[in-house]
């Protein structure tokens, strides 16, 4: 069973960048889709990106600003966030599901069965 630990969150000013890491023990990159989600207070959890064997999926809401990548040797998946906005403020989670990601469903939280504890991102104006 894969286990996930996020890190890299923090506080930045608008326009800044952060790179989140998702360290995955028991992770075999060819067996799991890793998704990135965020949840702001009072809002639903929102999928923003996913990756499976190098194929990446980015939600339209963050396309052009966020990218995701993986380091197979380190069993780590990254979420690079650029040009951050105050509305990006949220708790960010990585999650895993068996099998491939899919273009139209990677952002559905219910499809993922393993979650990390989350890392807070705060963007000030």
14-45 pLDDT tens trace? 999 999 999 998 777 889 999 999 999 999 99
Q: How close are the terminal C-alpha atoms of the chain, in Å? A: 40
How far apart CA 111 and CA 12 sit, in angstroms, is 31
Which of the residues in the chain have pLDDT under 50? none
Of the candidates 10, 38, 40, 47, the residue with the CA atom closest to the CA atom of residue 122 = 10
List % helix, strand, coil for the chain (3-state, nearest 5): 5, 50, 40
Which pLDDT belongs to residue 28?
76
Residues 109, 93: Cα–Cα separation, whole Å: 10
Q: What is the pLDDT of residue 29?
A: 80
| pLDDT for 5 | 96
């Amino acid at each position: 069973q894969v286990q996930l630990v996020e890190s890299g969150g923090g506080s930045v000013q608008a326009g800044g960048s952060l790179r989140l890491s998702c360290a995955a023990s028991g992770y075999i990159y060819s067996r799991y889709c890793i998704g990135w989600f965020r949840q702001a207070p009072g809002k639903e959890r929102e999928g923003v990106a996913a990756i499976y064997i190098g194929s990446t999926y980015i939600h339209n809401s963050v396309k052009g600003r966020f990218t995701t990548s993986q380091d197979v040797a380190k069993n780590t998946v990254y979420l690079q966030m650029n040009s951050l906005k105050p509305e990006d403020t949220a708790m960010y989670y990585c999650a895993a599901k068996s099998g491939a990601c899919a273009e139209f469903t990677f952002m559905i939280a219910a499809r993922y069965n393993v979650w990390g504890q989350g890392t807070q991102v705060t963007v000030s104006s």
